[in-house]
Amino acid sequence: MTGVAGEGQESSVFAVAAKEFQSVPSKESDVPEVQVGPDGEACGLVGAPGVAKEVEQAPRCSPELPTIENKPLIEPVQREPCEGDGYYLRRAVWMDNYTASKVFQIVPFFFKTDYKLYVFGILLTIYFTCLLINIIIITVIYIDDHLHTPMYLFLCNFSIVDLCFTTVTVPKLLHMILTNNNTISFTQCFTQLHFYFLFGTNEDVLLFIMAYDRYVAICKPLHYNQILGRKNTLMLIAVAWISACTNSLLITKAASTMLFCHSKIIHQLFCDIKALITISCAGTEMFFMLLYLELLLFGFVPFLCTVMSYVKIIAIILNMDSRDGKRKLFSTCSSHLTVILLYYANVASVVLIPQSQYSELLEQICTVLYTAVAPMVNPLIYTIRNKEVKRALMRLVKGKITLKP
């Protein structure tokens, strides 16, 4: 609610607004537009039923923030000093019982269609395939001593992140489809958002670390064991987790302070931050500041460093005389390069989809590829293209690898 009231006028203005507020039409399209005149008389109601309302009027000086009948004033969004001890109350927000309820509704594009059970079957298959493949990769690297090198320790950690990343979103989506209950509490929503950013940021940092590993292996092979010894390898993994956790906590805390006035319906597959911003009406200033900082530190910087690493790698490969040497060096980084291209292509498709009639549908389809399909495909790419992993798998199948006690 945007508004200012003088000492003598405020009770009448907000009383009229509150009275109108309680008799909201049942349909959003039936809600009349509202204007409040300079004389301080409310002329109607602003907004849709069941959402926060806003009232506008000419600035008047008021020493205290007004209250509205049984409508708690959530916060003054903007106040400016005026003559005396009062303020011009430029904007304030109050909520009714619906907007005070602590639930969102997640509405995927297929939720109200006849083929959602087919979608359930496809997502369930993708999810269990992702779990199986990533668990196999983690197990093989853990029990095979030949794979206890920096490259495969990073790969093992990457599989853990992929497994957790898809688990954050897909099981809840499957539960909603199966039970036909698409509500999610604020606590569940922001918990999901926290872990989504945690594993998403971790994956981004890990891709850069793996690119750096390939850069050291190809461009500085004689110093590889010194630069990426066991201590440095574990330190890089710890840095990835700590930075991702810190970023996720800050982003989630800032997002939880937003006010959701326009709607409680999220047109996505999970509590996506873009969807939350769309339905928010206030409290986004701190969030956007942190989001831009995150895009710089965990988006642009890792991407730029990864590109620089591969530019130097490609330059080294092209300057070699031996064709066999070129093929061998390229094969050592082709799997990781493929995963990087898929990762940034998926991210770009989700973030940069232009607004159109089908943008919402396309964004949700790209989200499925990013959160469910990519974590399943990534370990397959490493397994198919990596001879060491395939040999370790064959040793495991033939029983030549003994489990550690």
For residue 130, what pLDDT band results from cuts at 50, 70 and 90? very high
Residues 104-397: name the CATH superfamily: Rhodopsin 7-helix transmembrane proteins (1.20.1070.10)
Q: At what angle do helices 323-351 and 186-219 cross, to 10 degrees?
A: 160
For position 111, what pLDDT does the model report?
67
What would the pLDDT profile of 30-70 be if each residue is shown by its tens digit?
333 333 333 333 333 333 333 333 433 334 444 444 444 44
For position 326, what pLDDT does the model report?
81
Find the radius of gyration of the CA atoms of the chain. 27
Q: Are 262 and 279 in contact (CB under 8 A)?
A: yes
Encoded tokens for 272: 């996506």
Using CA atoms, how far apart are residues 361 and 373, in angstroms rounded to an integer? 17
Ranges in the chain annotated CATH 1.20.1070.10:
104-397
For 299-322, the DSSP string reads: IIHHHHHHHHHHHHHHHHHHT-S-
The helix (run of H) or strand (run of E) holding residue 213 is helix 186-219
What would the pLDDT profile of 75-126 be if each residue is shown by its tens digit?
443 444 444 444 333 444 444 433 445 788 888 877 666 788 888 899 999 9
What would the pLDDT profile of 180-214 be if each residue is shown by its tens digit?
888 888 889 999 999 999 999 999 999 999 999 99
Using CA atoms, how far apart are residues 128 and 401, in angstroms rounded to an integer? 25
- 210-to-31, 39, 317, 384 alpha-carbon distances in Å: 55, 66, 18, 18
Using CA atoms, how far apart are residues 348 and 40, in angstroms rounded to an integer? 49
For residue 237, what pLDDT band results from cuts at 50, 70 and 90? very high
For position 360, what pLDDT does the model report?
78
For position 401, what pLDDT does the model report?
57
For residue 323, what pLDDT band results from cuts at 50, 70 and 90? confident
pLDDT at 309 over 50: yes
For position 117, what pLDDT does the model report?
83
Look at the block and give the residue holding tokens 């991210």.
347
For residue 301, what pLDDT band results from cuts at 50, 70 and 90? very high
Considering the chain, what percentage of its residues have pLDDT values greater than 90?
Answer: 28
For residue 244, what pLDDT band results from cuts at 50, 70 and 90? very high
Is the pTM for the entire model greater than 0.95? no
